[in-house]
């Protein structure tokens, strides 16, 4: 146990090194992690570590889904709800059907039930890879929102397809009407359980005397409670986590204090980073185990089947993406849609952003070794190997070419009404105006003189004038002048930090007070860099 723990410590250190390498190479870190895991698998150093499906579904999946639901914009999710649900449910089911037909026709002895089993495994794209790449390339927020929203739901639909196909293979029976009714029951009740338990956690955060530490711990426990409660009754734990996460995310400003929000965001960003890193590295490390189970005899044919299914998935998703665009154009004549003319650029990017990930591999690994009759599960090793090839091909090939495709199609400002920089100026101006109105309402001529309020009013007047001038004549101060101002401000903050460190040497000042003001300076620098007027990596 101790050796296993230290192996995971070394794995985390390797993840950090590979992510830094990916940053330097300007690549999405999931691609580098998978390739790094592949390279490590040939050394045999971490042979004791592998992907346990139960651990993935119970330990990794709930917090990653919950964090994704917490980050998704509910406004964007609702605006593009038809596109998101079409990709999450109909497209996943259609993709499963295409894979089932193709694998049944081309793989000798592969039944249609096994085809649906394979389709349910490889149909859900992994959004971590796609969104990581999209954030590195200038792409409209709408595209990222659709990919993120799809990822919250497609795992549930694919796992349900997988569950029914596995039951059909094991029992040899499949009743469509019963499966369809069970499908909707699993979805609806899983969602209701998530919403119900989400309301319970909302009440705990809102009305019980919690502290920021308690709030943070509760947010860590929430996804596991949601997932386990739904799975205990054999409903969709994924949808329970997603629905509960979306509900609590929309209520964060009323149920959490400012300190709880800041502390929980920091904890969750680190946790999701480590979990995602482990997941992608472990995918690469699984290669020797999967290849050994397959055996040497069928390796070449298995690679061919894997490449064939990968091609089928890529083409199937592209066709579904363009089909959804055509359907949207037709539907816009009868109902209100978010985009009446999607064109071909957006559907092409969404169709190409279909990289597969750990949910597919965990599903394949969860296939039982034996049937209820005690016989080896048919084609289990082949299904596992095909799944690995699909993940590798889509993640590396599509992941490496997606930035190039985004630049080539030039999505431009088609989905952006106001440039992001102008949005920030408008918001800052509105905030300054609102603050100025409030200060003027409390600092009336009849009220006692207050130098602090007068100074605040003068600063707000200056800010309002500056933002109004920027909106009327964008770039009024030159970029070099603005850059120089921010560099000077950052140096000023460093000077103040140096002063605080110097004062900390004096015995009359408590170090805890010094640290408090150092934190205030850190927050000031954070606000400055978040305005995106400086490069994120500038120091």
pTM of the model: 0.78
Nearest in space to 167 (alpha carbons), one of 183, 185, 190, 188:
183
Q: By the 8 A CB rule, do 164 and 132 touch? A: no
Three-state SS string across 455-478, please?
HHHHHHHHHHHHHHHHHHCCCCCC
CA pair distance 263, 267, nearest whole angstrom:
6
Assess contact for 33 and 280: CB atoms under 8 A.
yes
Q: What is the Cα 124 distance to its own chain's centre? A: 14
Q: Pick from 29, 61, 71, 280: which is nearest to 154 by CA?
A: 61
3-class state of residue 322 by DSSP: helix
Ramachandran region, residue 421 (left: φ > 0; alpha: ψ -120 to 50; beta: rest): alpha
Please tell me whether residue 120 adopts helix, strand or coil conformation: helix
d(CA 253, CA 13): 35
User: How confident is the prediction along the chain (539 residues), in pLDDT tens digits per residue?
Assistant: 667 777 788 888 999 999 899 888 888 788 888 888 888 887 877 766 766 777 777 888 888 888 888 877 777 788 888 888 888 888 888 888 899 899 988 888 888 888 888 988 888 887 676 777 776 666 777 777 888 788 778 877 787 788 788 877 877 666 666 666 777 888 889 899 999 999 999 999 999 999 989 999 999 999 999 999 998 888 888 889 989 998 998 888 888 888 888 888 888 888 888 888 888 888 788 777 777 766 655 778 888 888 999 999 999 889 988 888 888 777 777 776 666 777 788 888 888 888 887 778 778 878 887 777 778 888 888 888 888 889 888 888 888 888 888 888 877 655 556 666 677 777 777 888 888 888 877 766 656 677 777 787 788 787 787 777 766 665 544 456 667 777 887 888 888 889 888 888 888 888 888 888 888 888 888 777 766 444 444 44
Q: Where are the domains of the chain?
A: 2-409, 418-476, 487-539
Q: DSSP string of 378-403?
A: TTHHHHHHHHHHHHHHIIIIIHHHHH
Residue 491 CA to residue 524 CA, distance in Å, equals 12
HEC per residue, 230-296 = HHHCCCCHHHHHHHHHHHHHHCHHHHCCHHHHHHHHHHHHHHHHHHHHHHHHHHHHCHHHHHHHHCC
Which three-class secondary structure state does DSSP give residue 376? strand
Place of tokens 């040939």: 42
Report pLDDT for 285: 82
Helix (H/G/I), strand (E/B), else coil: 76: helix
What confidence score (pLDDT) does residue 507 get? 81
**Of 104, 160, 167, which is closest to residue 377 (Cα–Cα)?**
167
Give me the CATH code for the 2-409 domain, please: 1.20.1530.20
**Residue 359 tokens, joined:** 């949910």
Please report, for residues 91, 126, 186, 292, the alpha-carbon distance to residue 190 in angstroms, rounded to integers and kept in the order given.
Answer: 21, 21, 6, 38
Provide the pLDDT for residue 457. Answer: 78
Cα of 388 vs its chain's centroid, Å: 21
Task: For residue 234, give both structure tokens.
Answer: 């054999």
Q: Are 92 and 154 in contact (CB under 8 A)?
A: yes
d(CA 273, CA 63): 11
C-alpha span between 313 and 324 (Å, rounded): 16
Do residues 389 and 361 lie in contact, with contact meaning Cβ atoms separated by under 8 Å?
no
What residues contact residue 96 under an 8 Å CB cut-off, 6+ apart?
Answer: 116, 119, 120, 123, 158, 161
Output the CA torsion sign for 398, 403, 406, 407. negative
- Token digits of residue 264: 């929980």
Euclidean distance between CA atoms 209 and 268, whole angstroms: 22
What DSSP assignment string belongs to 487-523?
HHHHHHHHHHHHHHHHHTTSTTS-HHHHHHHHHHHHH
Q: What is the largest CA-CA distance in the chain?
A: 93
Tokens coding 76: 């964007």
């Amino acid at each position: 146990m101790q050796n296993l723990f230290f192996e995971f410590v070394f794995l985390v250190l390797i993840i950090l090194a590979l992510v830094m390498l990916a940053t330097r190479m300007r690549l999405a870190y999931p691609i580098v992690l998978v390739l790094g895991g592949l390279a490590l698998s040939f050394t045999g150093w971490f042979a004791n570590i592998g992907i346990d499906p139960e651990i993935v579904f119970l330990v990794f999946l709930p917090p990653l889904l919950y964090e994704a639901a917490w980050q998704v914009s509910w406004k964007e999710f609702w605006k593009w709800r038809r596109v998101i649900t079409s990709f999450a449910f109909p497209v996943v089911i259609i993709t499963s059907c295409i894979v089932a037909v193709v694998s049944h026709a081309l793989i000798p002895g592969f039944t249609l039930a096994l085809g649906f089993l394979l389709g349910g495994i490889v149909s859900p794209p992994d959004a971590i890879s796609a969104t990581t790449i999209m954030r590195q390339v200038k792409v409209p927020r709408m595209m990222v929102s659709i990919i993120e929203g799809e990822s919250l739901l497609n795992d549930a639909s694919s796992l349900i397809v997988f569950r029914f196909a596995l039951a059909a293979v094991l029992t040899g029976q499949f009743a469509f009407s019963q499966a369809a009714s069970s499908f909707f029951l699993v979805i609806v009740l899983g969602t209701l359980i998530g919403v119900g338990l989400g309301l319970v956690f909302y009440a705990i955060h809102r009305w019980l005397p919690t502290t920021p530490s308690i709030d943070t711990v509760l947010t860590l426990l929430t996804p596991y409670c949601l997932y386990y409660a739904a799975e205990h009754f054999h409903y969709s734990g994924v949808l329970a986590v997603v629905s509960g996460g979306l509900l609590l995310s929309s209520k964060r400003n009323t149920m959490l204090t400012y300190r709880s929000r800041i502390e929980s965001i920091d904890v969750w960003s680190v946790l999701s980073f480590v979990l995602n890193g482990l997941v992608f590295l472990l995918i690469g490390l699984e290669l020797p185990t999967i290849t050994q189970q397959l055996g040497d005899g069928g390796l070449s044919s298995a690679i061919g089947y894997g490449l064939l299914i990968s091609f089928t998935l890529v083409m199937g998703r592209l066709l579904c993406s363009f089909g959804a665009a055509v359907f949207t154009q037709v539907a816009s004549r009868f109902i209100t849609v978010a985009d009446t003319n999607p064109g071909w650029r957006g559907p092409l990017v969404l169709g190409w952003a279909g990289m597969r990930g750990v949910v597919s591999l965990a599903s394949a690994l969860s296939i039982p070794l034996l049937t209820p009759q005690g016989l080896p599960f048919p084609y289990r090793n082949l299904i596992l190997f095909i799944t690995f090839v699909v993940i590798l091909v889509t993640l590396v090939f599509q992941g490496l070419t997606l930035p190039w495709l985004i630049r080539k199609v030039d999505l431009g400002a088609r989905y952006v009404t106001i440039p992001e920089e102008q949005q920030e100026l408008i918001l800052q101006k509105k905030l300054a105006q609102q603050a100025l109105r409030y200060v003027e309402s409390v600092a009336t001529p009849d009220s006692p003189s207050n130098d602090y309020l007068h100074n605040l009013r003068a600063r707000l007047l200056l800010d309002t004038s500056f933002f109004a001038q920027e909106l009327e004549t964008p770039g009024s101060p030159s970029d070099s002048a603005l850059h120089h101002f921010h560099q000077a401000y950052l140096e000023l903050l460093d000077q103040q930090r140096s002063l605080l460190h110097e004062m900390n040497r004096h015995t009359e000042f408590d170090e805890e007070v010094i640290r408090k003001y150092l934190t205030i300076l850190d927050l000031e620098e954070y606000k400055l860099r978040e305005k995106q007027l400086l490069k994120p990596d500038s120091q």
